[in-house]
Copies of this chain bind each other. A is one copy, B any other.
């Protein structure tokens, strides 16, 4: 599989030099690779990306975690404190469209690779930094992991059951949201470069991104003067919109407006509630949520989940099972949308990973990905290309050729 070229995508020709480790940065460059970019991952000799040591392992030292986030990339090991290796990085940057790093702010300066230095030497280069707190502000140098920004950014205070211990979102949304905004910033800078001919710096902070995904919570705080609190599975402004137990397991129902509530009520055989003024409007349903939830759950507990889901689906009421990962990836819709693709770990073990959620009519959506690279796997090829004037091209050069 590794000899196949990456499928052509909208970002084909884009050359990305990737100094990132663990998650926020590697997630961003994986999205770019899925869109067709060439991503050269520059890793520390010896150990490489820390994520190579993260479980689950398919064999000793063969991380499924690393493989999930780094498929389709190339790897070269460079010691950036050694001048010969630094020269290789600089040769790569001279050809590249984009540099991505997620070091603690100040690290690139110590390496002599600050944005100001790189901008002078490589004016078309887009420099993207994903960090915990950003490259400005009093806490810029403070260290962060996902959990820290989920906590400091407010999301953790709104997630969980009421009066329970603090609850983290079960995926690293602190890193992943920052990875997505880093991609958005890089692509915006690429579009800008078409006009200006110049690169720029993209500075994304994980903490900032947590603020950016709080939805209406900031407005709610301002209007009520109260901090939003965890609501279990409920929505703060829509009722019924939560999980309910059935005879065998729980399901979710999301009746987002009056028509859907009427359809839900009738599908569940609760027509008796139609005359109840407590449930006549979104506002009154919100105010009487506990009583309404009890009425619905009492009914749902009389039959299994599949019975109710079939009735709700027939009535067009948004609803569904609460799937584990096994059930989620086995869904026919997920299969039909190619959202589970084949790859291999660096050690050669087969592994399925999430597909590309950006479906484009102009490009194929491959059902496999090149494996995540072994550390330094692409050194010889990369050095040979650097030695040959016309072998490694950036998107900027391709654009110039096309003019």
Contact A183 B185, beta carbon cutoff 8 Å:
no
Contact B227 A337, beta carbon cutoff 8 Å:
no
Chain B residues with Cβ below 8 Å from A143 are 316-318
Q: In angstroms, how far is the closest chain B Cβ from the Cβ of A214?
A: 6
Does A23 sit within 8 A of B, measured CB to CB? yes
Nearest chain B residue, comparing its CB with the CB of A141: B316
| Interchain CA distance A348-B142 in the complex, whole Å | 38
* Known A-B contacts A35-B188, A65-B219; A211 and B10 likewise in contact (beta carbons under 8 Å): no
Contact with B along A185-227 (1 / 0, CB 8 A): 1011111101110101111110111111111111111111001
| Interchain CA distance A190-B192 in the complex, whole Å | 11
Contact A324 B227, beta carbon cutoff 8 Å:
yes
Contact-residue size bin, chain A (C-beta under 8 Å from the other chain): 35 or more
* Known A-B contacts A243-B166, A282-B53; A152 and B320 likewise in contact (beta carbons under 8 Å): yes
| Interchain CA distance A53-B258 in the complex, whole Å | 12
* Known A-B contacts A181-B358, A232-B168; A333 and B252 likewise in contact (beta carbons under 8 Å): no
Of A80-88, A233-241, A269-277, A384-392, the one with at least 4 CB within 8 A of chain B: A233-241
Does A11 sit within 8 A of B, measured CB to CB? yes
Chain B residues with Cβ below 8 Å from A351 are 219, 222
Q: Please provide the chain A residues from 306 to 342 with a CB less than 8 Å away from any CB of chain B in the complex.
A: 313, 316-329, 331-334, 336-337, 339-340
Most-contacted residue by chain B among A64, A164, A169, A227 (CB, 10 A): A169
Does A304 sit within 8 A of B, measured CB to CB? no
How many copies of the shown chain assemble into the complex?
Answer: 2
| Interchain CA distance A317-B210 in the complex, whole Å | 20
Q: In angstroms, how far is the closest chain B Cβ from the Cβ of A154?
A: 4
Does A393 sit within 8 A of B, measured CB to CB? no
Nearest chain B residue, comparing its CB with the CB of A217: B325
Contact B354 A211, beta carbon cutoff 8 Å:
yes
Does A138 sit within 8 A of B, measured CB to CB? yes
Contact B68 A218, beta carbon cutoff 8 Å:
yes
Does A353 sit within 8 A of B, measured CB to CB? yes
Contact A322 B151, beta carbon cutoff 8 Å:
yes
Does A176 sit within 8 A of B, measured CB to CB? yes
* Known A-B contacts A143-B318, A145-B256, A223-B56; A329 and B211 likewise in contact (beta carbons under 8 Å): yes
Does A79 sit within 8 A of B, measured CB to CB? no
| Interchain CA distance A135-B243 in the complex, whole Å | 27
Chain B residues with Cβ below 8 Å from A46 are none
Contact A353 B218, beta carbon cutoff 8 Å:
yes
* Known A-B contacts A155-B170, A188-B35, A216-B56; A243 and B10 likewise in contact (beta carbons under 8 Å): no
Nearest chain B residue, comparing its CB with the CB of A225: B326
Chain B residues with Cβ below 8 Å from A228 are 170, 324-325
Contact B188 A10, beta carbon cutoff 8 Å:
yes
> 10 more A-B contacts (CB under 8 A) besides A211-B355, A212-B339?
A11-B188, A55-B223, A68-B219, A136-B337, A137-B333, A138-B336, A156-B233, A187-B191, A222-B352, A227-B325
* 6 A-B pairs closest in CB distance: A158-B170, A64-B219, A227-B324, A137-B336, A154-B328, A145-B254
